[in-house]
Amino acid sequence: MKSNVGKILSTAAIAATISTGAAAATLDDVKAKGFIQCGVSTGVPGFSNADNKGTWSGIDVDACRAVSAAIFGDADKVKYTPLSAKERFTALQSGEIDILSRNTTWTYTRDTSLGLDFTTTNFYDGQGFMVRKDLGVESAMDLDGATVCTEQGTTTELNMADFFRKHSMDYVPVVVQKADEALSAYASGRCDVYTTDKSGLAAHRSKLSDPNQHMILPETISKEPLGPVVRHGDNQWKDIATWALFVQINAEEMGITSKNVAKIKKESTDPGIRRLLGAEGNMGESLGLSSDWAYNIIAEVGNYGEVFERNVGPNTPVGLPRGVNNLWTEGGVLYAPPVR
């Protein structure tokens, strides 16, 4: 889910006020208050979603939990702010949140015009279309004249317009404020099609009364690299958020999990593993963190594979395969710089 380029002008004034000095104290501020304020979605299963007790979970939630573990040695020193697509960038720019981790697409315009920085990609995605099976549609090329639901303040609107224009097809957009409203409009029959990132379609399909009556069409019409976002100018804070994910990717590649990390730290003679886990040297010093920062991320949150499997993997209601979100050694695109 991605913010409309047309909305950028409305936030440019805020972005212009963000200076290096104003942004540079995020780690100090977080330590002083004792928690991270994490901006998340209003509810996307597998990415950021609260249960009936108010407990948040998902890949994007775990991104914030990993940063918390790195700083505090405790993954649960996080408070969550649910944000619509329209609200999310302003909340980060204004300092209402410390980090935005809300299935947000990294684009050129966002990275250069909002006073914000993307850290790194935690999920590679692409936009697609979901329809009812009884509609009799097998391909996005069959959607000429369709009514299509989507969320306001996202590049989904632009991608949708580009797709239909490129293929000389007509459509009727139904644009609403929030993802749940788009899903409700689709479920009620107000529109024929629901479009967003394919991971979001799978997540929202799991909320429908009979998910098996709905299908995601095969076409992927865009590139959607999703990842956390921080304010521009605070290099230390960006480095912490970036390397928190790199640690998890490296850990999976090394075979280190939340279950075996303590044993491996104690017994391994591999120099790379010993550096990563803080058994020798102090790789956390340059980040303003303790020597066991990476160990704490893995012990508290797990490696990337663990995060993926418990939140969106084949044995969850979302049911996604690893696909391109696998390690480079396993045919995917996940590749992290070494900790050395």
Hey, where are the domains in the chain?
1-124+225-340, 127-222
pLDDT at 177: 86
Amino acid 24: pLDDT: 56
Selected from 3.40.190.10, 1.20.120.550, 2.40.160.10, 3.30.950.10, the CATH number assigned to the domain covering 1-124+225-340 reads: 3.40.190.10
Round to whole Å and give the CA distance between 45 and 201.
10
pLDDT higher at 317 or 24: 317
Q: Which residue has the tokens 């304020």?
A: 37
- Helix then strand count (H, E) for the chain reads 14, 14
- Is residue 247 within 8 Å of residue 253, measured between CB atoms? no
Rg (alpha carbons) of the chain, rounded to whole number: 20
Q: What is the pTM of this model?
A: 0.90
Q: What CATH number should be reported for the domain whose range is 127-222?
A: 3.40.190.10
How large a percentage of the chain has pLDDT more than 70?
A: 93
Q: Do domains 1-124+225-340 and 127-222 have the same CATH topology?
A: yes
How far apart, in whole angstroms, are the C-alpha atoms of residue 103 and residue 44? 9
Compute the average pLDDT of residues 309-320.
97
pLDDT at residue number 11:
47
Residue 14 scores a pLDDT above 60: no
Q: For residue 256, what pLDDT is reported?
A: 98
Share of the chain above pLDDT 90, in %: 89
DSSP, residue by residue, 219-261: ---S-EEE--EEETT-HHHHHHHHHHHHHHHHHHHHT--TTTH
- Categorize the per-residue pLDDT at 302 as very low, low, confident or very high, splitting at 50, 70 and 90: very high
* Cα 118 to Cα 16: distance, rounded to the nearest angstrom: 17
